[in-house]
Amino acid sequence: MRLTRAGEYAIRCMVYLAFKGQGILVVKQEIAEQAGIPSPFLAKIVQALSRAHLIEVRQGPKGGYVLLQDPARITLLEVVEVMIGRIQLNDCVGRPEGCAASSYCRVHTVWEEASSGLRQHLAGITFAELCRDESCLPVFSTKYKKK
C-alpha cells in the first residue's frame, strides 16, 4: 500500500479546512496556494471528499469549500480510504479467494494483522488532533491566519 498523490493532497486540504474550522468557507485558490496543491488536481480531490460528505463545494464567484463535520470526528483513515479505497497491504488480504493458499498461509495472516493494525492506528487520529495549532501548517504561509 502506498499513499497516492491524491491521498496526500486530500489530507493537506482537510488539514487546512480543519484548521480554519467547521462551517468556514475557504476559497479554492487559498487552499491550492497554501497547501501546495495544483488547482486542477484540487478540483478533482474535493469531488471525492464531497461525495463522502466531508466537505461541501460551493460554486460561483463567492464559492469555495466548507468542512461539514467537526474535525474531531473525521479520522485520517476515513480520508485516506475515501481517496485510495480500503487499506490492505497485499492483494490476498482484500481478495483471499484469489489466492489458493490464503486459508493456511502464515504470511497471509501477517498481512491481515498488519493491515488491521495500520487501519486501527489511522482511525485513532483525528483532524482536530492534526491541526491543534499553526504548527500543522508547515507548507502554508502565514498570509491566511485562522479567524
Q: Give residue-wise pLDDT tens across range 55-80.
A: 999 998 888 999 999 999 999 999 99
- Which parts of the chain have pLDDT scores under 70? 1, 91-98, 101-103, 133-147
Whether 40 maps to a domain, the answer reads yes
Is residue 47 situated within a structural domain?
yes
Tell me the CATH number at 70: 1.10.10.10
- In this prediction, residue 22 carries a pLDDT of 96
pLDDT at residue 1, as a whole number:
63
- The reported pTM is 0.84
Residue 25's domain spans which residues?
5-86+126-136
Confidence (pLDDT) at 60: 86
Assigned C-alpha cell, 25? 468557507
Residue 39 lies in a domain: yes
For the chain, what is the domain count? 1
